[in-house]
Amino acid sequence: MLVVMKANASEEQVRAVCQKIESYGLRAHAIPGAQRTAIGITGNRGEVETGTFESLEGVQEVIKVSKPYKLVSRDVKAEDTIIRFPGSDASIGDNEIAVIAGPCGVESHEQAFAVAERVAKAGARFFRGGAYKPRTSPYAFQGLGELGLQILAEVRERFGLLIVTEAVDHESLALVDDYADVIQIGARNMQNFSLLKAAGRARKPVLLKRGMSATLEEFLMAAEYIMSEGNYNVVLCERGVRTFADHTRNTLDLSVVPAVQRLSHLPILVDPSHGTGKRNKVTPLSRAAIAVGADGLIIEVHNDPDHALSDGNQSLYPDQFDNLMNEVRQIAQVLGRTIADPVADPAARRSAGAAAD
Ligand code: PEP
Ligand code: MN
């Protein structure tokens, strides 16, 4: 159920409605929008009597939400969610397309710095790299753990890049929440409901990857798990689903982008690296992702892909990433969107951001 407040409702009126909702043992989620605040109600097992809230001051109407997901839905918030990062010009979901680039895994200080310098210069504002790697084989590289997170923190310090890295379980989630700017929940964990709830109690925004066999509804319900715990900064990410096709690692489902945008106010990114698994398909699918209206890209880039400890086959060489950025920048322009320009000295961007604080 959704309590829609009047456009001129005061903060006290919103608070009073929330208190009333919580006095019934339910949870109130006040989501401010451009026109009005809507208060989502969760925690109810059955029907809630609408009349209880309709008569409260400042209330415009009470709507029953028939969809299984509520907080992710455009019913709660008509306009797009934009996630901002204090002290940085970066955002996700705004007119500027967010580009997250970096290696699959953080392998060493040298590797992370070599890649970070190149992707920052090419215009990426976010750096990716797993410190904890969910691998199909227990014998494959599992990540550097906390040392990897420390290297990522140094990358942020040196290049002014915001850090996106994966949490694979509760233990790593607490550490990732401390070190990173965005917590990634991987495809294999999209329905790890206890991890989703814990991410919902974390302080940082969450990048939620679509499970490899998840329907759109399952994907949105996973996001709902995070939001239902009070973390409203959720970014969705399409990374390919499993089909019978064997010319690519996964089948990148770009049609999910407009499908998500119809139903949800959350930003949606595309990961053509995992979506195709093949280096030569990453740039073409990146172009397509921007053309279809994605809010951003997550791209694997490695300084020495042939010796990468994971996902070398799908990692771009830095020069290829430069080219990708030039191409998608032009496509973005056609759609009235922007992508950050290349920067000669990323360290200077860092100090400019810090000075603006
Ligand atoms: C990754 O981003 O490196 C990763 C493991 O992605 P996914 O969860 O989409 O497989
Ligand atoms: Mn990878």
Q: What are the DSSP calls for 327-345, one per residue?
A: HHHHHHHHTT-B-PPP-S-
User: Amino acid letter at 155?
Assistant: V
Which residues are paired to 73 by β-bridges?
A: 264
Q: Is the CB of 186 under 6 A from ligand 1?
A: yes
Residue environment code for 152-178, b if the CB has 16+ CB neighbours within 10 A, otherwise e: beebbebbbbbbbbbbbeeebbebbbe
Residue 357: its pLDDT value, please?
A: 42
Quote the ligand 1 centre to 56 CA distance (angstroms). Answer: 46
Which residue has the CA at smallest separation from atom 4 of ligand 1? Answer: 186
Residue 351: its pLDDT value, please?
A: 52
Q: HSE of 73 in the Cβ direction (CA atoms, 13 Å)? A: 19
Quote the ligand 1 centre to 352 CA distance (angstroms). Answer: 32
Q: Which residues contact 129 (CB under 8 A, 6 or more apart)?
A: 102, 103, 104, 105, 106, 112, 115, 148, 152, 155, 163, 165
Tens-level pLDDT at each residue, the chain (357 residues): 899 999 999 999 999 999 999 999 999 999 999 899 999 999 877 777 878 899 999 999 999 888 899 999 999 999 999 999 999 999 999 999 999 999 999 999 999 999 999 999 999 999 999 999 999 999 999 999 999 999 999 999 999 999 999 999 999 999 999 999 999 999 999 999 999 999 999 999 999 999 999 999 999 999 999 999 999 999 999 999 999 999 999 999 999 999 999 999 999 999 999 999 999 999 999 999 999 999 999 999 999 999 999 999 999 999 999 999 999 999 999 999 999 999 999 887 765 544 444
Q: How far apart are CA 216 and CA 133, in angstroms?
A: 25
Q: For ligand 1, what atom is nearest to the CA of residue 274? A: 9
Q: HSE of 156 in the Cβ direction (CA atoms, 13 Å)? A: 22
Name the nearest CA neighbour of 164 among 80, 252, 235: 235
* pTM for this model (two decimals): 0.95
Residue of 209, 252, 271 to mutate, ligand 1, most atoms within 8 A of C-beta: 209
Residue 47: its pLDDT value, please?
A: 75
Q: Is the CB of 274 under 6 A from ligand 1?
A: yes
Whether residue 161 contacts residue 98, with contact meaning beta carbons closer than 8 Å, is answered with: no
Quote the ligand 1 centre to 151 CA distance (angstroms). Answer: 19
Which residue has the CA at smallest separation from atom 10 of ligand 1? Answer: 187
Q: How far is CA 289 from CA 246, 285, 299, in A?
A: 21, 6, 12
Quote the ligand 1 centre to 104 CA distance (angstroms). Answer: 8
Q: Is the CB of 130 under 6 A from ligand 1?
A: yes
Residue 356: its pLDDT value, please?
A: 41
Percentage with pLDDT > 70 across the chain: 98
Q: Is the CB of 103 under 6 A from ligand 1?
A: no
Q: Euclidean distance between the first and final Cα of the chain, in Å?
A: 39
